[in-house]
Each structure stands twice: as structure tokens, then as C-alpha cells.
Amino acid sequence: MYFDLNDEQQAIKSTAHDFLGARFKSERIREIAASEDGFDDAGWKEMAELGWAGLALPEEWGGQGLGAVELAILFEEMGYALAPSPLLSNTIAGLALAAGGSDEQKERWLRPLAEGSLRGTPALIDAGGPAEPMKFSMQPGEALTGTKTLVLDAGSADFFLVATADGGRHLVEKNAEGMTVTAEESIDPTRRLFSVRFEGVRPAATLSGSGEEYHPVFHRACVALAAESTGLAQRALEMSVEYAKDRQQFGRPIGAYQAVSHRCAQMLLETENSRSAVYGAAWAADAEPESLPLAASTAKAYASDAGWRVPDAAIQVHGGIGFTWEHDLHFFLKRGRANAAMFGDAKWHREQVAEAVLAGETAPASA
Amino acid sequence: MDLTLSPSEEEFRDEVRSWLQENHPGPEPAAGLDEVMSFRRDWQLKLHAAGWAGISWPKEYGGRGATMIEQAIFAAEATRQEAPAPANVLGLAMGGPVVIAHGSDEQKARYLEPILTGEEIWCQGFSEPESGSDLASLKTRAVKDGDEWVVTGQKVWTTFAQYAKWCMLVARTDPDAPKHQGLTYFLMDMEQEAVQTRPLVQITGEGEFNEVFFEEARVPDANVVGGVGNGWAVAITTLMNERAGLAFGAISQIQNSLGRLSKLARETPSGGGTAAEDPYFRQRIAQLHIEVETMRLNAYRGLTKTMQSGIPGPEGSLGKWQWADINQDLTELALEIEGAYSMLARGSEHAVAGGAWQYGFLRSRANSIEGGTTDILKNIIAERVLGLPRLR
């Protein structure tokens, strides 16, 4: 029993922390957020050099072969830095290729993806549908027709993994005939969303996986995203504590008042709970896969709430200045709120937990 | 990172598990605190004979010298099997560790063994009517008279005072010193005329706690622990000791309650089906599961940290706070599931589950007060974990 990062994991954390802190200062994030395509090519190249594009992808296909715990560490730091990057969508596409692709498909798309020279993104949600995880309505076939929406980072992706009603994944390259990519206006300007219209588009490949293989990919994606939300909460908490120590009103730092200090204590509780749930789930993904679905839903449900509520509380601690565009907090609130709704919201994940625990057998209590 | 038990920890758990299965005395007597106490005395003797009393105590003092993880395993397993508490809970968790840490050799020789056997029950005399959260402001006076001290004052919330032989008493020995420095920690003999206890009836109608009155009660100088004027530091050790093992027992207890809550939901009609099929109740129950799981994982992270640094940090306050919140939410939800039947209390023919949830609802109101109020825990977290400025 040892529930903490080991030395190697600690090193990944501090490398990520230092690199991201230096690369994504407030001015740079604002430039990227205000740019036409929202994509930071120089930042991507540096991340690829650090091996992050393939961090949790198999070594034999050019990845680093690390696990979900290391992925969670990296994404917690990505959230802390509010890094605008297609790393999340690219990682999910890579995990799906690794889970369902043939050797030939992996050689052709996974290897360059893991090395950072090609970027992929999943196209999952059918426009107009219920946007429920792992349920798709687009019909499979030699040609794909329909609209996928809420597609992450489509503007800078080289290929799409398109999900169909049978649970399959079809690889479509960016310049395929019959495909139109349209930018949506996301509440989070640091992560862009798109709609992709397919009109009789012929996929470059169909992965051999039939659906089940992608469930662990989905659960890992939930854990990575929950880790990112934990990082957002951690940063918002730290900003609040600093501010509450400095800001004077009625002749004292506002952090001396319990209305403020108890709010900060609540933020810490939610951040620590979120972190524990994330690392519990990440550990399960690597070491105890049978408990991953419940652990991932636990983490995603908790972090969905904490990831926006903690930045929201941070705005209240900051008062008027926290409501200005000039202050960075609104970016954290917006990212946290978007994360809350992505890959199943808290309500959806709580229902998965209810399904598991109300069946009559409770989760076995370790130790 | 490794959330599994090591082979030797697994072996320990299996040993605890099978011993408890073979020796479990069954449920506690349903009525009468005297009967319950005598039942728990028998149980403690059995625990002691097998070496399970004082498992955290060093071996040289009659304990098992168990690691923190083993203590956690024992607490979790005992609660999971709903084993009774030993009679002398406070002596084992607080009194013994204090004597071991601060007591003289004579004190160790005199007090430790009867704590382990349960022959002498201990109680804790800290809180006073005018000194709750601000414990260091306490007013009970101890005045030196030859080789004795004369104690006058009142304590409150004193669990098991009516059964106790010894009271861990903090009293003011120097009224002129700053409030934290004028205190001394005594072992007070409760069996004397000058000490009177009176049960304090709480909102459940029961009297778990007592008021204790000292009217020129006598305590020998030899019963000072840790030196005159050192009472605050000694008392703090007691409170630190209280937390470590309790957390894992508390988590198992909540897991048991959650299992019963799920059963209640499955058996209670709601709409056309059961409460377990009602989306609103499903969401609430799931959220409780999620919070209990985060509390459990937090406790393991805390344990890893404590095992590395050697001392429990102020982060432990998060667990106590969360435990109180969850226990209250859980019993509130049970009453919501029962609906109109939640109006019926224990003893009523149509009360659901014998009225256990109604009792639990009332009893859990104290969870955010006893052992450090949630409001004070938030102060501790703000000041000692986050480093925010003190109000005082």
C-alpha cells in the first residue's frame, strides 16, 4: 500500500509543471484563445519532442508505453497550466487506434501520431442526438453520411476516428471528399469545438474493433479529463489563497474572515477529493481493469463538479476583479464547465455508479 | 503507486478476519447501557487474551506494535464484521498512548495493564460548559496542597464517566500564566465523594454523555502526567492519537450504512416501482457512494504521507469534516426514502427498520460537533494547510 507518486512519476510531474508554466503564460494563452484557429503549432512541436503525444501509447508503435497514472499526472498539469492543446483529443485517438487498429493501420497512422507528426481526433457525437457516451447513430458502410458535432480540435486534426451505430471506428483523413469542417463557438476559447459534415465520405480505413475495445479507451479519456479538471481546481484554489492573503479590507487580509477562509477550505476539500478519485481510477486502469468502469465514473462525476465549482468559488473570493475579462479566472471557469459536460456529465456518471451499486452487491471494500 | 496490500498485510488481514469470525460475540444487548458495558467488558477481555487490545501500542507495554496500515486493516475489518467496541475505548485510544508518551515509569507500570484488560475504564475531562471549541480557556482549578492537588470545577460531554475509574483531566494550575501555559494534565480517581456525575440527556433521549462536578476533589501529585504547566501539549497528543485508527473504522461504518441504505431503497415502494429505481434517489445514493470512495482514497493518501513523515498532518481534519457531512446526508436521505413513515420513531409498530434511521438522523446531528466541530476544522484547514491569516 503506497498511495503517492513514485520518484519517476514525480519527475514527470515537475517536468510538465515547469515546461507548461514557462510556455503558457497568461499572455500566450490569450493570444492562442484569440487566434483564428486556436492552435499553437510551436507548443505542439515542443510537447511532441517531450514525448507527450505518445506518452500512454505502446512503445512498439513509437509511444512511451506509460500508464494511466502517468497520463493523469500529465493532464493534471495541463489543467493547472490551462494549456490550449490538442493533446487530449490526440491521445484518445491514439488509444483507440492502439485498441482497435490492425498492425498495418497502426504503422500508417498510430506511429506518426505517437511521434507527433500526425494528429488525430475522435468524432463521436451525432448532431441532434442525445449526446450520450458510447451511443452513436451514424450508419456504418463504405461511405459515411451525417454530421458529427462537438468534435475537439478538428481544425488542426489530420484525421478523424468516426464512430458508427455498430460501435465501430472509421478513419477519415482531413481532405477526404465530401467532408466539411465548421467551427462552433465554444464557451471555452482555449479548446475549440467543431461540427463535421460527412456526405458520402469514403473512410481511408475501418478499424477492426467492434465496440467493446473502445470502452477502456473511453474510461481512460474520462480519467485524463478528470485529472485536467483537478488541475484547474488546484490552480484556482492557489490563486484564491494568494489573493485572500494579499487583499485587505476593513484593515485585514480578507483571508482572515471565515466567510472567505471557509470557502477556501471547501475548495481544498473538493480539489483533494477530486485528486484522490482520479488517481484511484488511474491506478485501477493500470492494475485492476475490472474496477475501472466504476472508478472512472466516480472520478469523472466528482471532477465534473469540482472542476467548475472551484473556479466559480475562486471568482467569488476575488470579488469584482474576478469577474473581469482581464483576470484569468474566467478561462478556468469556462474550461471547467466545458469539461463537466464532456464525455458524460456528472449526472450520467452518477447513474453508472447507481447501476453498479444498487444491483445488490456493493463494491468490495479494499482492506 | 500501489493500492493493494502487501503479502504480509494480506496475511494480517486474513488473520484478523478469521479470528473475528470465530470469536464474534453476536449483536450487543438491545437495551440498557449497563448490559452493553458488561457485554463490552467481556469482549475486551477476549480481545486482550488474543493480543488485539491496544494493537497500536508498543510490544513492551503489552500492545501488538502494529504498523499504521495494520491498525487501519484491523479497524476496517472489525467494523465490517460489526464487532462490538471494547469497553475501554478511550483508555485504549487516548489514555494509554498518553501514558506511554509522557508518563513516568511508575505510571506506566500502574496504569497500562488495567487499560488493556478493561478492568479500569477511562474517561476524558477536557470540555467545560464555557470552554468548548476554545478548550484552552477552561476554568477548572487545581490548587496545590502538600503532595496533593485540590480540584474544583465542571466538565461536560464526558462519555462513560459513570463507569470510569480514571479521568484524563486537564485543569488550570496557574491562573496568571497565558491560557495555554497554565494547564496541567492529571489522572483523577473518579471513585471519590467529591466527584459527581450526572447524565446529560441528548436529543435522541439517551444519555451517552455526562456532566462531571468536582468539589475539592483530591488528586496526588504523582498523578500529574508530563509535568505541571504542560497540560496543553499532553492533551494535544491525545487528540492526535484519536484520529489515526478511527478514520478507517469510520469509513467501514459508513460503507455498512450505505449498504443498508441501498437495501432500504430496494425495499421501499416509490412511484410505480421502488426507491432504487427512482432517478432522484439513484442520483443521491450514487453521490454518497462517490463521496465515501473519495474519503476512503483520501485516507489512504493521508496514511502514506503519515507513514513517510511519522506524524499525522492537519489534513486529517478533511476526513473528519467529510465523515460528518456524509453521515448526515446519508441519514437525511434515508428519511426521504421512507417518506411519511419517517415520522415514526423507535418502538413504533410501523416504524421502518425499527426506527433505526430516525435515531441515526438525530444522532448524526452531533457528528459535526463532537471531536472538533466542522466550523473549527475549517479554521484549522484554512490556517494550517492553506496558510491563511488567523482571525485571532
Which DSSP string do the residues of B28-42 spell out, in sequence order? PPSS-HHHHHHHHHH
Provide the chain A residues 37-76 that lie in CB contact (below 8 A) with chain B: 69
Could you give the domains of chain B? 7-117 (1.10.540.10), 122-228 (2.40.110.10), 234-385 (1.20.140.10)
Task: Show residues of chain B in contact with A252, CB under 8 Å.
Answer: 389
CA triple B245-B35-B125, angle to 5 deg: 50
Under 8 Å CB-to-CB from B30, ≥6 apart: which residues?
none
Place of cell 482581464: A326
**Residue B295 contacts A, CB cutoff 8 Å:** yes
Contact A277 B1 (CB under 8 A): no
CA pair distance A253, B391, nearest whole angstrom: 9
* Residue of B262, B296, B389 lying closest to A256 (CB–CB): B389
Q: Which among A70, A110, A112 has a CA at the least distance from the CA of A94?
A: A110
Contact (Cβ atoms closer than 8 angstroms) between residue A223 and residue A282: yes
Count helices and strands (H / E) in chain A: 12, 10
CA pair distance B223, B220, nearest whole angstrom: 6
Q: Which among A365, A252, A31 has a CA at the least distance from the CA of B300?
A: A365
Contact (Cβ atoms closer than 8 angstroms) between residue B187 and residue B225: yes
Place of cell 493500470: A286
Shortest Cα–Cα distance, B283 to chain A (Å): 6
pLDDT tens for each residue of B345-384: 998 999 999 999 999 999 999 999 998 899 999 999 999 9
**Residue B18 contacts A, CB cutoff 8 Å:** no
**Residue B130 contacts A, CB cutoff 8 Å:** no
Place of cell 459515411: A144
Contacts 24+ apart (CB under 8 A), B192-199: B192/B217, B192/B218, B194/B218, B195/B167, B197/B158, B197/B161, B197/B162, B199/B162
B153 DSSP β-pair partners: B214
Beta strand ranges found along A39-96 (DSSP E) = none
Show which residues of B are catalytic. Answer: 242
Place of cell 477476549: B46
CA pair distance A1, B4, nearest whole angstrom: 5
pLDDT tens for each residue of B15-73: 999 999 999 999 999 878 899 999 999 999 999 999 999 998 999 999 999 988 898 99
CA pair distance A151, B99, nearest whole angstrom: 65
Residue B240 has what pLDDT? Answer: 65
- DSSP code for A191: S
A148 DSSP β-pair partners: A126, A196
Widest CA span in chain B: 77
C-alpha separations of A127 from A124, A152, B303 in Å: 10, 14, 47
Res. B317: pLDDT tops 80:
yes
Ranges in chain A annotated CATH 2.40.110.10: 120-206
CA pair distance A286, A246, nearest whole angstrom: 43
Residue A210 has what pLDDT? Answer: 81
Cell of B306: 503519515
Output the CATH code of domain A120-206.
2.40.110.10
Residue A363 has what pLDDT? Answer: 44
Provide the chain A residues 256-315 that lie in CB contact (below 8 A) with chain B: 256-258, 260-262, 264-266, 268-269, 272-274, 276-277, 279-280, 283, 287-288, 298, 301-302
**Residue A137 contacts B, CB cutoff 8 Å:** no
Q: Which among B256, B259, B293 has a CA at the least distance from the CA of B276?
A: B259
Beta strand ranges found along A193-321 (DSSP E) = 193-201, 205-206, 248-249, 252-253
With pLDDT > 90 as the criterion, what percentage of chain B qualifies?
Answer: 86
Residue A364 has what pLDDT? Answer: 44
Contact (Cβ atoms closer than 8 angstroms) between residue A264 and residue A237: yes
Q: Report the Cα–Cα distance between both ends of chain A, in Å, rounded.
A: 10
Q: What is the ipTM of this complex?
A: 0.95
CATH topology of domain A214-357: Butyryl-CoA Dehydrogenase, subunit A; domain 3 (1.20.140)
Q: At what angle do helices A292-318 and A329-341 cross, to 10 degrees?
A: 150
State CA A135 to chain mean position distance.
Answer: 19
* Residue of A9, A258, A358 lying closest to B379 (CB–CB): A258
pLDDT tens for each residue of B101-128: 999 999 999 999 999 999 999 999 999 9
CB neighbours of residue A245 within 10 Å: 16
Ranges in chain A annotated CATH 1.20.140.10: 214-357
3-class DSSP assignment, residue A329: helix
Encode chain A (367 residues) as per-residue pLDDT tens digits. Answer: 899 999 999 999 999 999 999 999 999 999 999 999 999 999 999 999 999 999 999 999 999 999 999 999 999 999 999 999 999 999 999 999 999 999 999 999 999 999 999 999 999 999 998 899 999 999 999 999 999 999 999 999 999 999 999 999 999 999 999 999 999 999 999 999 999 999 999 999 999 888 889 999 999 999 999 999 999 999 999 999 999 999 999 999 999 999 999 999 999 999 999 999 999 999 999 999 999 999 999 999 999 999 999 999 999 999 999 999 999 999 999 999 999 999 999 999 999 999 999 986 544 444 4
CA pair distance A107, A113, nearest whole angstrom: 10
Alpha helical stretches, state H, A319-363: 329-341, 346-357
Place of cell 438522523: B361
Provide the chain A residues 177-196 that lie in CB contact (below 8 A) with chain B: none
Res. B235: pLDDT tops 50:
yes
- Sign of the C-alpha dihedral computed for residues B218, B223, B225 and B227 taken in this order: positive
With pLDDT > 70 as the criterion, what percentage of chain B qualifies?
Answer: 98
CB burial of residue B330 (10 Å; 0-12, 13-18, 19+) = buried
A304 DSSP β-pair partners: none
CB burial of A137-172 (b: ≥16 within 10 Å; e: otherwise) equals: ebebeeebebbbbbbbbbbbbbbbbbbbeebbbbbb
Q: Which among A168, A193, A173, A191 has a CA at the least distance from the CA of A183?
A: A193
Residue A59 has what pLDDT? Answer: 98
CB neighbours of residue A210 within 10 Å: 12
Cell of B15: 488473520
CA pair distance A202, A210, nearest whole angstrom: 19
Place of cell 464525455: A343
3-class DSSP assignment, residue A120: strand
CB burial of B341-353 (b: ≥16 within 10 Å; e: otherwise) equals: bbebeeeeeebbb
Confidence grade of residue B243 (pLDDT, cut at 50, 70, 90): low
Place of cell 503532595: B147
Residue B313 has what pLDDT? Answer: 74
- pTM for this one? 0.95
- Sign of the C-alpha dihedral computed for residues B257, B259, B262 and B263 taken in this order: negative
Residue B245 has what pLDDT? Answer: 65
Q: Which among A344, A362, A247, A266 has a CA at the least distance from the CA of A306?
A: A266
Domain A7-115 = CATH 1.10.540.10: yes
- DSSP code for A141: S
The total number of residues shown for chain B amounts to 392
β-pairing, A193-201 with A179-183? antiparallel
3-class DSSP assignment, residue A110: helix
Confidence grade of residue B247 (pLDDT, cut at 50, 70, 90): confident
Ranges in chain A annotated CATH 1.10.540.10: 7-115
Q: Which among B83, B78, B100, B82 has a CA at the least distance from the CA of B91?
A: B100
State CA A357 to chain mean position distance.
Answer: 26
Shortest Cα–Cα distance, A362 to chain B (Å): 7
Shortest Cα–Cα distance, A24 to chain B (Å): 25
Under 8 Å CB-to-CB from A326, ≥6 apart: which residues?
none
